[in-house]
Every structure is written in C-alpha cells, then in structure tokens.
Structure 1
Amino acid sequence: MPSTYSRLHDGYDSGKGRWTGWVKLAVVLVCLTVLGVLLAFAVLKRPPAPKEHETLPQEAGGSNSSTDQCSMALVESIPQQVKYKANVTFGIPLENVWKDLMSMAKDSVEVASFYWSLTGEDIGVKSPSDMPGREILKELEELPSRNVSVRVVTSVPTVPTNSTDLEILKRKGLEVRKVDFGRLTRGVLHSKFWIVDRKHVFIGSANMDWRALTQVKELGVVVYNCSSLAKDLHKIFQSYWEMGQSHSSLPHPWPSKYDTAINKQHPLLVKTDNVSSRLYLTGSPPSFCPLSRTQDLEAIVSIISEAQHYVDVAVMEYFPTTRFEKPRRYWPFIDEAIRTAAFERKVKMRMLISCGRDSDPAMLPFLKSLASIDNPHQDVDIQIKLYIVPVGNQSDIPYTRVNHNKYMVTDKAAYIGTSNWSGDYFLTTAGVGLVVSQHAPHPVWKTKALQGQLRAVFDRDWSSEFAVDLADLGHHPDCALSR
C-alpha cells in the first residue's frame, strides 16, 4: 500500500486528482497544527517541578521519589573461629542490628521468620554461643512493657524443633500467627525480615535462630528512616498475617490494599550521603504477589540479563531443578540467564556456592556443567568456588558452619534476598528480596554505597582461604560435595 506521502504526491500529479491531493494535504496540516496546539497547552498546564523535599508523583516508566532520608548498610554474621586477614570489608554485626532495632522501637515491631530457635535447649545443645540468642529473646519479651506492640509470623510446616520461644513470647503479650503454607501453596514461609515503627527494615538470610548469630554465616541489609519502603514491606507482612487465620484461602486477585506503586518499573528514588539509589522489593511465590509486585524470579533474571560487565553470586544452594516436590522437575530459568550472559554478552560470572556437612551432593553435577563452558579462548568467563566454613570443635551443633548468604551484585544492581536458588523457592515458597541500583562519586562508592560494600564483601570471601575452586576441591571433611 502506498504511503500517505505517496498518495498525496500521486494525486497532485494526476490531472483532475490534483485538487484532491491539495485538499488532503491541507487536512493533514490542519490536524498537525491542532495537535501542536494541544501539546503546547498540555506543557503549559503541567504542574511546576517539585521542590527538593517534595514527593514526586509516580509517572509511567519513571520512579517514585521519596523525601525519606533512607540510609542503608550491610549486615553480617561471621561464624565464631572464622578469621579474615586485616583491612577487609565487613557488614555491621547482625546481633548489633537486631538489638539496635529493638532499642529504637517506639510503636511496633513486626517479624517474619521461617522458624524460631533462640536458645540451645531447643535443639538439645548446651553451648555458650547461644548467649546472643538468649539476649535477643529477652529483649523481645520486654517490648510490650514499653508499649511496643509485637507481631510475629512463622511457617507451617517448619523445621522440626522443640522451640518454646513463641509460647514464651505469647505469654508476654506478643501476637503470633503461623501460616500454613503447606496447605496454601505446598511450600513454606521462608521470608526473614523485620519492620520497626513502619520506618526501619531488616531483610536477609538469618532466621530467628541463635546459630544465625554465632555459628552460621549470614548476610542482610538494614534500611533506616525509610517509611516508603517499610510501608511497602508491611503489605507483604500483612498478606502473611491475614493468611495466618484459620481456614484462610488465597484471594484471586489480591485486594487493592496489597497493591504496590514500587516495583521494577517504578523504583523508589532516594538520595542520601551523595548516593542516589533506586530501590524496590520483590516477592514470591506468584500466588502471594499482586500483579503490581515484581516477583523474585523476574528480578533475578532481569538483573543478570541487564549486567554488562560482571555478575557475582553468593547463595547457599544452586539447583536448576525443583528440590522438594515429587517428582522433581527441571527448572532452567536462572541457569539459562547465566549461560546467556556469559556466552552471548561476555559478562564475567563468579559464583560462590556454600558447601557444608549437610549440603546435597546432587548439586555438584549442575555446578560442574556451568563451570565446563568457561572458555578463555572464546572470552567466556564462568568461575565457581565453594565456600567452606571450618567446623572445628563445633561438630556437636547441627545445621551450622555454613555460608547461608543469598545475594548478587553486578555492575548495575545489588540484590539481597531470602531464597536459595532452586525452583521451589520461586514457585511455592514465600520469600522477599531488595533490589538496589545506585550511583555515587568514586570516593564514596565503597564506603557509602551498598553496591560497593557488597562487591567488597564478595571479593573478600572470594579471595579468602575458605573459598575453594571447584576444580581443586578434592576430599574435604567439612564439605559433603567432596565425599
């Protein structure tokens, strides 16, 4: 079919049709003139640019600008007897952050955790290393006496435990709900986060377990004075809380009060200490996410796909399959994103996978498969190491001495989550993540920007004596993958 230009041109050149062409041209010009007037009017009517401390409205494809003075910092727990060389980066100790959040609380504390086990008796162990857990439990008990309301959600099913924590807390006036994820989604509530006064947030790998404070390597992020983010995370907490009622059923769709204006398409924009940050929360499983919430899997795959130079991943488990449903299914989404980034875009991949006494040896073939496509001659760079926490004299404490981290950092973004990287965690199990994309002047990048801190922590672990190249594993008594 001829173009509009061609039809007008042909009409002008063809005798009687010449005037028809001119009429059509005139109509087009008039329409364009009217359109231009309307656009100019729209521009003139546009509201003035907001002042520095005003909140910007959300725009399609844009960001949500916040007046909150949000500040972020990495949080870590380093197992006892694990020592690093001097002059390396560390996050704030997890114990300090939890105690700090409780001391700051004026109105409310809301905690989501897979399970609770803050004393050694819960697992039949006597160890002085449970003292920080006991202190945390004691401080939680005392919050109601300060007129601070405390709500806790945890999972059904949960790990086998004789924990009495929740019964103690309920007697002290804390509200507790157990969410039957086994019935609702065939999964578990695996999220781990705190919300304090609807303005401070902690998200990370640590359950409410004394071992998370002294025996397991954990990583998370604390965000202070960030009401916009905290209120958004509260929507996720509230979805768990509602589903913790007896005879609850998943809504389809979720009511509008659970919708979010903060997601991958519209991140929260904050600027603090000369660092500009774009933030959004992610969630899983899909059945717990309103359409406006960016799902965990979507965020992880998009972060890998958008990286241009490097992707550093630290996770406890990596399986391109499901792990818990029967029969197991192949689940290649993250694996394909990694292979595509390395092979097609020549992005440098480094993966630090945990290996402990209880790690599943079935993970090893998948890691070897990924490592096998490393090819310097074709500029394909995939390096895989296993992080092994020495057991030492702590062998009597079960399910410890492991790197429980769940994060990723690239040249474009940082992701800190609560899920291991296998299919069930994104299909049936509840998890959350925080995505942070930052810009900052070079001098403040490593000290002020979370992305810079996270890259420095990854480099520290990657270069440490605890990281063993997959090809050099051999036999290691503290790593089940080597047996």
Structure 2
Amino acid sequence: MHMQRKTWSITIAGLLWGVVCVAGAARPEITPGFQIVESVPEATNYGAPGVPRTQAVWLDMIHSAHKRIDVAAFYLANKPGSALAPVLDAVIARARDGVKVRFLLDRTFMKYSRDSVDRLRKVKNIEVRVLPMDALTGGVLHAKYMVVDGREVFVGSANWDWRALTQIHEIGARIRNARFARTFEASFDFDWHAAAHPDMPKLAKRAERSLPFAPVTAADPVTLHDNSGEALSAFPAFSPPSLIPHGVSAEQPALVRMIHDARHVLRVQVMTLTAIRQYGPKGWWTPVDAALRDAAARGVDVRIIVADWALREPMQAYLKSLAVLPHITVKFSHLPPSPQGFIDYARVEHAKYAVADDRSVYIGTGNWGWSYFNNTVDASVFAHGAGPAKTLIGIFDHDWSGPYVTTLEPGKDYKPPRTH
C-alpha cells in the first residue's frame, strides 16, 4: 500500500511537471488568415503599431510565389529608386524562375503604365493585357488586387504607384484562404478574358455561367483568424454587377446592408463621397446616400473622413448636405507637404474603408460614387469580427482626432487643393 501511494505521488508529480512544461513552452506562431495592411506617408504621424506596411506585404507575397501571380491594377507608375522599384524587380525575378505572371491594366490610364509595361513584356512568363472598360461600360478598371498561387489575396486602396507606398495613406487587407483566393481568381479570369474578347453581349452571356466551385459569398463566407488567433468571417465582393461571374457577391448591396446593420457608430474613410453622378448618366445615386441618412435618423453616430480632394464642387455641396444633419459629422483631411517638396497626385487620404460598430468592416478599392459600383471594375473584402474592427477603429480614431483633419461646416466655403 505504501509503494502504491509512492507510485501515485510520482505519477501526479510527473503530470504536474508536464503541465508546467507545456504552459512554459513557446506558443506556435500564428499565421493570420486576415491581416490589415497600411501605407504610411513619410513625415506624418500615421502608422498604426503592429500593422504591416504595403510594400513589405507585397514583397513577401511575391517572394513566396511558386506557380502564379495575378495582378489587377488601375495603372503602373514606377520611378527609379522608389519603393515600387523593388516590387517590380521581385515580380521579374519570380517570372525568370518560372512563376507565371499576369498583369491586367486599364486602357484609359496606359500613358502612366507604358514604361513599366514595355519592360515587363520583355520578360519570359509575364503577360500583360489591357481592359477597355471605357468601351465596354464607360468606366475604368479601378481595382487594385493581387492573387498568389491561388492561396492568398491582397486587396485595398493602393495603386501600383510608387507614391501609394510612401506618399499616400492607404488601407488594404491580406487574406490567406484558398477558396477566397479562388473566388478572386474567378473574377480576374473573367476580366482577363474580357480584355481579349471585349464584346459586351457575349460577356453578359459568359457571366451567366455557373462557376465550377462554390465561391465565397455574403451568404457563404469563410472563417479566418486574425493575428491574435480570434475567429472572424469574411467574403469578397465585386463591381460592376454587369461584368462579374455568376454567383459572386456584388459590392453595392453588401455595403448598403452593412450600413443598415449599424446600430451605434459608423466610421467611414474614403477619398471622395458623393451621390451626384459625375460620370455616366446624370442624376442622383440613391442607395448608399439613403443608407447613410437612414443610419443617422436611427441615431447612429455617423463619422466620415474624406480627403481635401473632395472639396471640389458639386461634391463639397453634397458633403455639406450630410454635415447639416443630426448625428452626421464630416471631416476632411489635408496632409502636410512632403519634405521633398510638392509631389503631384500625392499627399492625400486615399483609403476606402468603413467600420460598423465594433464588429463589421469593409475594405475596398473604389471611392463612394455611382460609377465605382456600377460601371467600373472594383473589388473589396467584408469581414465580421472584433479583431479587424479594433485595428481599423484605432487607425480611424487616430486620424479623427489628429492634426490633419478639419470639421466641414455647412456655412463655410473651402478651397480645394492643388493636385498636380
């Protein structure tokens, strides 16, 4: 009996030691499935702690590619010695190692892309196509996203422009999930085909075909984890509805639904915002405008930051029509000039994101206007979870109370800035 008790004591001590060892062991590193990404203009107080920067994320994704890199970009604007130069160098290096690379660009902005495109087209395994959205719908290819190896996606406001990495405030997201990436790949493949066969009636027929897999949608999101390991759900959405694969989610209804679901605080940061149709058929763009006003009428605290580029008329008058309402506050940001001096089309808030309460977020590639959702190629990610919301709220609130914003007063007139 004495020996039995001694054996039990040794066994219990061993178990306790095992528990202590496990508790003290290093926790395995978490590879997040969802990650917020930020571009920080130099010589500003932007830059959320712990949030990775756009160039570093792009380089990491490109260096890790083994089979394919697909990039949809509004345009390519490189500058020797700039932050974009090593990104393009990395793409070329991976192509020379056998990775297949496809760049899909907009036709109307090809003058900005010409030098980079001429260089890329000389490299084996790199193919470039130009999408004539101006002829198809009257819009542009405005999306900015990258899909690597059918396993991960970057989507966000940053153009493939050297300024977007060091001179403009941008927000994006990196999503690691094969079905999510395959859904983006389906949209890319549709537009890639459209660039080679720009026939709108035939493309409309093609859009009716069912995809050979179940895409990630608003009704069927994927479960991911953030940096802390906390679970969240996410789905992609695309524009324009006339040129997206059958079964994927369209952006505008998803955004309106998110605004309608807000109950306490709605934070919106976007370069420009207007319900006045400036491109395409003239008139009033109702859905998002009505959703914002309805949220305010329900008592939701609606906080909006736009760039000072939004101060041009008639957009300034529209923003004042929001600012005059109870529960809506509109601010515009004005970034200080670069220490290098004036840089054209830079030093601006270019982010496009929203946070509803403390749970739901939207990160997109388009500004909030009719054309971006109805005749232009754009893409976004919607996520429901405390982690992404907390990160974006921190970025938003830092800006909201920071030195670069001014509250828009309906009774004042504001001069728009020089952009170029």
For normalisation by structure 1, the TM-score amounts to: 0.75
Using the alignment, how far apart are the partners of 1:204 and 1:160 within structure 2?
23
Equivalent pairs counted in the alignment come to 384
Q: Which amino acid in 2 is paired with 1:177? A: R
Using the alignment, how far apart are the partners of 1:469 and 1:100 within structure 2?
39
**Secondary structure of 1:222's aligned partner:** strand
Find the counterpart in structure 1 of residue 379 from structure 2: 432
In the TM superposition, 1:160-309 aligns within 5 A as 160-161=111-112, 163-173=114-124, 174-224=126-176, 226-249=177-200, 250-252=203-205, 253-257=207-211, 260-271=214-225, 273-309=228-264
Contact 2:311 2:416 in 1 (8 A): no
Find the counterpart in structure 2 of residue 141 from structure 1: 92
- Say yes or no: does 1:107 pair with 2:107: no
**Secondary structure of 1:255's aligned partner:** coil
Using the alignment, how far apart are the partners of 1:91 and 1:386 within structure 2?
24
Using the alignment, how far apart are the partners of 2:341 and 2:311 within structure 1?
15
Extract structure 1 runs of 4+ deviating beyond 6 A: 472-478
2:328 to 366, 382, 389: 382
Q: What value does the CA root-mean-square deviation take over the aligned residues?
A: 2.5
Using the alignment, how far apart are the partners of 1:95 and 1:301 within structure 2?
31
Q: Which amino acid in 1 is paired with 2:58? A: W
Contact 2:360 2:385 in 1 (8 A): yes
Q: Which amino acid in 2 is paired with 1:469? A: T
Uncovered stretches (5+) of structure 1, i.e. residues with no partner: 1-67, 121-129, 375-380, 440-448
- Say yes or no: does 1:391 pair with 2:337: yes
Bigger CA radius of gyration: 1
Find the counterpart in structure 2 of residue 332 from structure 1: 286
1:421 to 358, 362, 368: 368
**Secondary structure of 1:147's aligned partner:** coil
Using the alignment, how far apart are the partners of 2:286 and 2:341 within structure 1?
35
Contact 1:259 1:291 in 2 (8 A): no
Q: CA deviation at 1:108?
A: 1.1
- Say yes or no: does 1:79 pair with 2:41: yes
Contact 1:417 1:431 in 2 (8 A): yes
Q: CA deviation at 1:179?
A: 0.9
Find the counterpart in structure 2 of residue 44 from structure 1: none
Contact 1:84 1:464 in 2 (8 A): no
**Secondary structure of 1:228's aligned partner:** helix
**Secondary structure of 1:221's aligned partner:** strand
In the TM superposition, 1:304-315 aligns within 5 A as 304-315=259-270
- Say yes or no: does 1:465 pair with 2:403: yes
Q: CA deviation at 1:69?
A: 6.8
Using the alignment, how far apart are the partners of 2:313 and 2:339 within structure 1?
24
Q: Alpha-carbon deviations, 1:73-124, whole Å to 9, x = none?
A: 1111111221259xx546311111111111111111110001111126xxxx
Using the alignment, how far apart are the partners of 2:322 and 2:311 within structure 1?
18
Contact 1:354 1:402 in 2 (8 A): yes
Q: CA deviation at 1:274?
A: 3.9
For normalisation by structure 2, the TM-score amounts to: 0.85
Q: Which amino acid in 2 is paired with 1:207? A: N
Using the alignment, how far apart are the partners of 2:71 and 2:351 within structure 1?
19
Using the alignment, how far apart are the partners of 2:263 and 2:197 within structure 1?
48
Contact 2:42 2:338 in 1 (8 A): no
Q: CA deviation at 1:160?
A: 4.0
Using the alignment, how far apart are the partners of 1:371 and 1:359 within structure 2?
13
Q: Which amino acid in 2 is paired with 1:387? A: S
Using the alignment, how far apart are the partners of 2:170 and 2:59 within structure 1?
16
Using the alignment, how far apart are the partners of 2:284 and 2:379 within structure 1?
23
Q: Percent identity of the aligned residues?
A: 28
Using the alignment, how far apart are the partners of 1:391 and 1:373 within structure 2?
33
Q: Alpha-carbon deviations, 1:40-77, whole Å to 9, x = none?
A: xxxxxxxxxxxxxxxxxxxxxxxxxxxx9752211111
Using the alignment, how far apart are the partners of 2:344 and 2:213 within structure 1?
40
Q: CA deviation at 1:192?
A: 0.4
Q: CA deviation at 1:384?
A: 1.0
Contact 1:385 1:470 in 2 (8 A): yes
Q: Which amino acid in 2 is paired with 1:74? A: I
